[in-house]
Structure 1
Amino acid sequence: MKIIKYTWLLSLFTMFALTNCSEDYLVRPPEDALTDADFYKTNEEVMAAIAPLYSRMWFDYNDKASYSIGDMRSGVIFDPWNDREFVEFNASGNNQSLIAAWNAFFTVVQQANLAIRNVNAYATDAVTDDIKKYAIAEARFMRACAYRNLVLAWGAVPIIEDNIAIMNSTDIRRNTPSSIWRFLTTEMRAIIDDLPEEPYATGRITKYSAEGMLARFYLSRAGVEADGGVRNQTYLDSAKYYAQHVIEYSGKSLLDDYRSLFLYPYDNNNESLFELQWVFSTTWGASNSVPAYLAYSSDIANGDGWGGNKSATWWLLNKYEGINPIGTTGDSIRGATIDTRLYNTFMLPGAHYPEITQDYTMEDGTQGQRECIYPNNTADLSFVCTKKYICGKNVDIAEGASSQHYPNNIYMLRLAEMYLIYAEAVLGNSNQSSDATALEYVNTIRRRAGLNNLSDNEGDRSYYTVEDLFNERTLEFAMESMLMYDLSNIFYYDKERALNILNNQDRGLFAVYPDAFPNPNSWTFVKTSWDSNRSINVTESNFYLPIPVADLSSMPSLSLDPVDYYAGE
């Protein structure tokens, strides 16, 4: 069972308490830091010291902030009554999910910095050089991943490599995005050879995890270093190189069926390059809490299931092939799709999920259980709620589950992204490409989702476009907290396009009517006539999240213009 298999993950949870926020949050050493010099005596102890960077340190981001920032801000999902600050791009520096994400990312940074310091200072001669290098490389990898999310969500942020050294600082400055991306690509390149080709233990990163992240980082840096909207070709070429290297040499492969990616137990499968590692445990922070907030009802959950009002947007549903406009008013769409990503990301009325047990009321009025059939709501508003990462009741999960405590992992990087990064790097600054390898990679992602190759009236297309890539990334990674970070990458080199994507989305209410229930063949979607709150207004001034008020109050220098981290070299 997983709870035994991942003893490396649980070994330190009892030593780590919840990290408390304080006014000097950015600079203070975390109260839950492991600094006992006697702990780093063996290879196993050193590797155990890094383990919480795979889970607990990310918990407050993973909990609710991940989908709020990545999916709700970007227009993948909306909620008509809750989390409106993320839906409408007016989150303040006092927003609790915003604060949770900021603090979680800097917790990862702090713990990574301390781990590096402690391994260097306290590891005994019994710890091998390879393990020292591996442990430090893991810490640097996690720190870089946290900074990647920070710079994409907040823009300029301060780079901190040693919290002890700056503990008494009162004048920390933010660093420019350009210098942050230079730091991130330099870091990730530096650790590749210190990581093994095979994981130290199931779920731990390898050199190919780092190469995959480096491909992602170079694609971002190409936009940051754009000149007049033209992305930097050197960094596009680097993104292409590393993506291809992972595809060809990692030994990873796409799972045959998109459904398998999220059919529990899917953890650490052969498509995965990096996951947050969760286990079922009564220890707060050891388990995955996301299903609690996204499952549509307690009928398929474990005393939680609070996601009944969180729905795919009208904008997103229009992207699935086979669901098309009807009439002339633009208020209705109808159809079905063979794209299995819809069925496995969101639930439509009448859809069956045999892996999930559902409570329901039988004809005689008594309560029974059956395989999940997503219910039909005949009112003038409905919600297409989340399926991805929903793994069901305790009875469905061999390792167990309880309210806000689930054992399934969260993807942070998987091989499918390498296919699409390669294709985007090849496309570069053009609107379309006929590169055969890149086109095949795009079509491979589509075929895995049950779709045909890209085509036109004359058959299979010999090219793919910017819009093709954007649509594939949007649908492939919906509800994986990805799209807002993708839009931030676009914003670097084409602000107008990024803002137009957001401002032209329909995020309003609608109703869903299946043609039959419970086994429909198609659905009709109709905009709710009385809902006029359908669009948002995003500008350059509110595109990035604001820094938490508490940190700005205690460190006013964060409001000053950012500086180049490498200035003076």
Structure 2
Amino acid sequence: MKRIYRVITMAVACIMLASCAEDFTNRPPEDAITLDSYYATDEQVASATNGMYSRTWFQFHNKFFFAVAEVGSGNMYSGSSDVSAMRNFSLNGSDAELNAGWGALWANIAQANSIINFLADRVGPGVSPAVLDNTIGEAYFMRATAYFYLVRLWGAVPIIENNLDYVTAPQINTNRVEDVYHLIEMDYQAAIERLVEKNRGSNYSANGHVSKGSAKAMLAKVYLYEQKYPEAKALAAEVINSNEFKLLGGDQVPGKTFGDLFTYPNNNNEESIFALQWVTDGNYGSASNCNTQFGISTAAVTTSNASYGGVFAPSQDVIDLYDAGDVRKHETIMFPGDSYPNMKVMVNGTTPQVGFTVPSAADIGGQGAGIAIKKYCQGIVNGNATGPIDAWAMMENNTYIMRYAELLLIHAEATLAGGGSTSDAAALESFNAVRNRAGLASLTSITFDDIFLERRRELCFEGDFWFDLGRIPRAEATAIMAAQNRGNQWTAEYFTPDSSDFLLDYPDNEVSKNPKLLEDPVPYSFD
């Protein structure tokens, strides 16, 4: 079943092998842990979800996430055959990365199900109920997040709350989209009830795990997608008024900048609502490959620690995305002539150098885009500036799933509530806080198009624009993508999606095991 049944035993193994330390790095011996003996203390229970912040997400994040959400949306360009199918909307069920992304999301669900259903029966008498409750709340949060991606990418999918229910009957139907969203709402609500409250301050090491506010923020986003504007507005306002999260470089954290968001020393900063926590622990699939797959890789200069780089590049469509004076431009896209004085690179393949100027468009390498991705690109290893590196040149820089700037834009859009424009003071305050941090002047009235554009600018290369396109009228989204130059700097190319391209094919190998995937979805019976 969509690889679900193969991950049932893996989910139990993941629980047993989850890391022990709050910093996600201290993993117990893999051959010495059992469910009954491991969860004897609060620390051990609290560590049960640590692996769900990195390894279970790796195959989703490594290529698939960007190949679909960024190449598909027209933000990124790639000519590499393993990640370029969405450039012309030719991705199908035989694609290896589609299968990898699908499997990773179900692995998250399987592990979350194991914790939700079985952890309480496997803890010792000395474990605090509050710690157990928080850990189970994290599992609900992760399951909701995985389903939120599944339903937006594939539409109708099976709802599985306990994998063991289907061991003897693995062929099951998909469930209706509205039922999947109902489960997501229920899971985030369950997370809100159980997770601890936090105030994310300057002690970044304490901010890695999600909180009650994280779950409220993600649920506000879900409500926005469902066009439940009053609920989205109220929940977003509640999180804003809690002061848990703050804009890095905004009025509350004035010593930082937008660019600092994507540097290793600022992992788990005040703006981070939920981020994947990568670890260079010696195992493949524990750390992030973004620094290698983005950036510049030529004989003259490389920003990669590996022997290759630049698998993804900016599209031609984002060249003029930013207005003059927008500081996000320099920290999102590397243009020829741009300077990065603190970034370490390798020159001529042999000489490390701190600080460099981006080469000409013809020499920038990568995918022939003439420009390169700066966001998540940190350069070659440089001590505390970039953090550690593993044998595969992967690094520990976090990947954002959601940050506070997006919540502010959600609040503004939920206040607009599908209207033509708004001058609501609270909506403007949220919207303009994001613009002001970017160095742009405040607006006195905003429309949906203003918010839609601001979301693309703020979240470019963070995996959201594809989903934004998917929630506007199909004709409008199709027109936007049909007008994009989806080629490279030498050859302009244009492709027009049809309505079926907005949802992905189920993996072929899963359909062969469970033909019911292709049947009409059925209602789900919630107990």
Judge same fold: TM > 0.5, yes or no.
yes
Report the equivalent of 1:429.
418
Aligned ranges 1:321-332 → 2 under 5 Å? 321=323
Give the Cα–Cα distance (whole angstroms) in 2 for the partners of residues 162 and 193 of structure 1.
20
> 1:201 Cα shift?
4.3
Q: Normalized against structure 2, the TM-score is what?
A: 0.87
> 1:361 Cα shift?
4.4
> 1:377 Cα shift?
3.2
Give the Cα–Cα distance (whole angstroms) in 2 for the partners of residues 80 and 377 of structure 1.
17
Report the equivalent of 1:552.
511
Q: Residue type of the partner of 2:414? A: A
> 1:488 Cα shift?
2.1
Over 3 Å counting, the alpha-carbon distance change for 1:472 and 1:219 in structure 2 is same
Over 3 Å counting, the alpha-carbon distance change for 1:440 and 1:301 in structure 2 is same
Specify the structure having the higher radius of gyration (Cα): 1
Over 3 Å counting, the alpha-carbon distance change for 1:388 and 1:6 in structure 2 is farther
User: Does 1:302 find its partner at 2:305?
Assistant: yes
Report the equivalent of 1:284.
284
Report the equivalent of 1:193.
193
Report the equivalent of 1:496.
475
Give the Cα–Cα distance (whole angstroms) in 2 for the partners of residues 255 and 8 of structure 1.
22
Report the equivalent of 1:51.
50
Give the Cα–Cα distance (whole angstroms) in 2 for the partners of residues 71 and 368 of structure 1.
31
Give the Cα–Cα distance (whole angstroms) in 1 for the partners of residues 20 and 271 of structure 2.
20
> 1:134 Cα shift?
0.8
Give the Cα–Cα distance (whole angstroms) in 2 for the partners of residues 566 and 487 of structure 1.
31
Match of 1:371 among 355, 365, 390: 355
Q: Is the 8 A contact 2:71 2:84 kept in 1?
A: no
Over 3 Å counting, the alpha-carbon distance change for 1:35 and 1:552 in structure 2 is farther
Structure 2 SS opposite 1:127: coil
Aligned ranges 1:265-276 → 2 under 5 Å? 265-276=265-276
Q: Normalized against structure 1, the TM-score is what?
A: 0.81
Over 3 Å counting, the alpha-carbon distance change for 1:251 and 1:95 in structure 2 is same
Q: Residue type of the partner of 2:241? A: E
Q: Please give the root-mean-square deviation of Cα atoms over the aligned residues, in Å.
A: 2.4
Give the Cα–Cα distance (whole angstroms) in 1 for the partners of residues 459 and 295 of structure 2.
18
Structure 2 SS opposite 1:284: coil
> 1:189 Cα shift?
1.5
Report the equivalent of 1:521.
none
549-558 or 347-356: bigger deviation: 347-356
Gaps of 5+ in 2: 1-18, 200-204, 250-256
Give the Cα–Cα distance (whole angstroms) in 2 for the partners of residues 6 and 561 of structure 1.
45
Aligned ranges 1:137-156 → 2 under 5 Å? 137-156=137-156
Aligned ranges 1:66-465 → 2 under 5 Å? 66-82=65-81, 83-198=83-198, 201-222=206-227, 235-256=228-249, 257-297=257-297, 299-307=302-310, 310-321=312-323, 337-361=324-348, 367=351, 369-378=353-362, 382-397=369-384, 399-402=387-390, 403-454=392-443, 462-465=444-447
Report the equivalent of 2:7.
none
Q: Is the 8 A contact 1:148 1:184 kept in 2?
A: yes
Q: Is the 8 A contact 2:197 2:212 kept in 1?
A: yes
Map Cα deviations across residues 463-506 of structure 1 (whole Å, 9 max, x no partner). Answer: 1111111110001001111111222222xxx2222222222222
Over 3 Å counting, the alpha-carbon distance change for 1:356 and 1:475 in structure 2 is same
Q: Is the 8 A contact 1:176 1:564 kept in 2?
A: yes
Q: Is the 8 A contact 2:273 2:404 kept in 1?
A: yes
Q: Is the 8 A contact 1:416 1:445 kept in 2?
A: yes
Q: Residue type of the partner of 1:385? A: A
Report the equivalent of 1:525.
none
Map Cα deviations across residues 337-383 of structure 1 (whole Å, 9 max, x no partner). Answer: 21111111110011111221122249xxx846241321113489642
Map Cα deviations across residues 358-409 of structure 1 (whole Å, 9 max, x no partner). Answer: 22249xxx84624132111348964211111112212354642243320111
Give the Cα–Cα distance (whole angstroms) in 2 for the partners of residues 66 and 115 of structure 1.
25
Q: Residue type of the partner of 1:407? A: E
Structure 1 SS opposite 2:226: helix
Report the equivalent of 1:23.
none
Q: Is the 8 A contact 2:77 2:314 kept in 1?
A: yes
4+ aligned runs moved over 4 Å, structure 1: 4-8, 378-382
Match of 1:468 among 450, 467, 491: 450
187-196 or 407-416: bigger deviation: 187-196
> 1:167 Cα shift?
1.1
Q: Is the 8 A contact 1:355 1:396 kept in 2?
A: no
Give the Cα–Cα distance (whole angstroms) in 1 for the partners of residues 145 and 372 of structure 2.
29
Percent of aligned pairs sharing the same letter = 31
